[in-house]
Amino acid sequence: MTEPRPSRPRHRFQTFDDPSHRKGAERIEALRAGLRETAIDGFVVPRADEHQSEYVPADAERLAWLTGFTGSAGTAVILADSAALVVDGRYTLQAPEQVDTGVVTVVPLAESTPEAWIGTNLKRDQVLGYDPWLHTPDGLVRLERAAAKAGGSVRAVPNLVDAVWAGRPKPPAGPVVVHPVALAGEPVADKIARVRVALADGGCDALVISDPHNLAWVFNLRGADTGHTPLALGYAILPREGRARLFLVSPNVDPALRSALAPVAEILSRADLDDGLGSLSGVRVRLDAATGAVALKEKIEAAGGTADIGKDPITGMKAVKNAAEIAGARAAHIRDGGSVVRFLAWLDGAAAADRLTEIAAVEALEDFRAAGGDLRDVSFPTISGSGPNGAIVHYRVTRASDRTVRPGELFLIDSGAQYPDGTTDITRTVAIGEPSAAMRDRFTRVLKGHVAIARAVFPKGTTGAQIDSFARAPLWQAGLDFDHGTGHGVGAFLSVHEGPQRIAKTGTVPLEPGMILSNEPGYYAPGAYGIRIENLVLVEPREIPGGERPMFGFETLTLAPYDRRLIDPDLLDPGERDWIDAYHARVRETLAPALDSGARLWLECATAPLPA
């Protein structure tokens, strides 16, 4: 099978030794000059935008510009004579390669939080600056406590990085368009009515929508202001009575969207937000605790309103997909499954020909998806890890780290796509050549946990934390475990990482029919290989004959075979074997009709029943 010709620009891979990533010392010194001019002693630079987004626009990549670190999470604290970059376990290898460690100390989150570092390193009577648009009220409380512990204080200041960032990109101006009701499944007016009921129940007069995902959902719109997630950045004020007001960053608003929203909402510029907040005198305003900035709270209170910090009710509504969104998810997964199967067939040939590299795999998979139709973007940067790189849970291949996949290794590829009707996320681990007995044992234990989640039946009110151990039990029996959650929520042509639902030790939200989550247990042997198996699943009602309580289970949405070469049938019980064989039969029957003869033949072999 030949690799498809690219139909769009390829993925851009970071090169750590690019000269632009060796300017940290110069840029930090410029920032320190700003500290002296402002008469403060330090400044906090989180990897965040005004909405606490996972993926931020180019003009909000302040941490990357200042330090060179390009990870999706991290916080730098710059003091006059020291600086730290705190990163979690995903980035403890990447960060030291990207930053000038002679100027910035990389601190693993497992060893110290940003607040703990501040409490230890800020000196008595020193003042720590922060941008009130980049911190939530809860986050500010933590900063204040840390500074007070050191005998110092905090002060809101204009962003000092912006003041020294020459050539800072302009704000995004992507198109903002209608998301059709046929795909959204519910008119805007009906969604607004539901939100207003929730506001009344909470004793609030209005809601400031600070999360662009919630903005996109309630107003049935999509944008192009960030990578990987089709968001239009901005805010909205949604009162219990009267028209809502949207304040969008991009001026490129489709007239059809203005027309569609005219009965229920007015679209304004982001520059008009201050005036909108200034009109909230005497109003009790719900502000989302997770995404609402300190600046929003202060502006509401300055206008004479009351900021009620709590949960945006839209977040929970968005998590429960309606019939149209569920139908779209199923259709998107069939389309995506065909592309993944074509890729896996190609991958086997490329590996056998000794021409498979991590970057080549990323490019090929993106091209197969593009050729499959309706691709808007990948839903996150593809994780493509061979051998020891596969053991790095959130590994991102670069031109510097790219390696050829070798016989006897495992290859892990975690990827997803954005289609107008749904968002996908899938991980498969593949044997290159003959796997070892240990590899097959670990893979099969991970698969057993994966199947346990897929087969789970549970009563209404069950949380993700209660289900999480199902995926771990087969590993625990061998004294093994993994250090990430088992599953995260997924949006409907929105974020691939959506809350509040999750399957994890910290998953406290009850699972409801219509929620989509990932099912992705793993195992990682540092320096050797990584294993992860991921499908997306849909919570659905289950009828249990003779049952006394409402019961739920999961429908598996993702369609792609597991690598049978890595399955040890002796470790499976009859129910697990039957489920795997039935799943493979479903994959084959659903996808084969649309495949070419070569991919169809490969799929027939890949989905054959497990040997007795």
Q: Check residue 512 and give its pLDDT.
A: 98
Q: Check residue 134 and give its pLDDT.
A: 98
Beta bridge partners of 386: 411
Residues in the chain predicted with pLDDT less than 70, given as ranges, are: 1-22
Q: Check residue 352 and give its pLDDT.
A: 86
Tally of residues, the chain: 612
Mind listing the domains of the chain with CATH numbers? 19-164 (3.40.350.10), 177-319 (3.40.350.10), 323-603 (3.90.230.10)
Cα–Cα distance, 386 to 400 (Å, whole number): 14
8 A C-beta contact, residue 130 and residue 157: yes
Long-range contacts of 84-87 (CB under 8 A, 24+ apart): 84/114, 84/117, 84/121, 86/112, 86/113, 86/114, 86/117
Q: Check residue 477 and give its pLDDT.
A: 98
- Rounded to two decimals, the pTM is 0.93
8 A C-beta contact, residue 561 and residue 341: yes
Cα–Cα distance, 305 to 303 (Å, whole number): 6
CB under 8 Å to 389, separation ≥6 — which residues? 358, 395, 397, 401, 403, 530
Residue listed under structure tokens 């996908």: 424
Cα–Cα distance, 237 to 246 (Å, whole number): 7
Q: Check residue 22 and give its pLDDT.
A: 59
Residue listed under structure tokens 């969104």: 325
Beta bridge partners of 209: 236
pLDDT 10s digits, 84-93 = 999 987 788 7
- Host H or E run for residue 43: strand 42-46
**DSSP string spanning 86-148?**
EE-GGGTTHHHHHS-TTTSEEEETTT--HHHHHHHHSPTT-EEEE-TTSS-HHHHHHHHHHHH
Cα–Cα distance, 426 to 414 (Å, whole number): 6
Nearest to 336, CA basis, from 223, 440, 451, 422? 422
pLDDT 10s digits, 443-457 = 999 999 999 999 999
Q: Count other Cβ atoms within 10 Å, centred on residue 419.
A: 24
Q: Count other Cβ atoms within 10 Å, centred on residue 229.
A: 27
Beta bridge partners of 412: 385, 429
Eight-state DSSP code of residue 232: -
Dihedral of the alpha carbons of 28, 13, 71, 508, in degrees to the nearest 10: 170
**Token pair for 114:** 């940003």
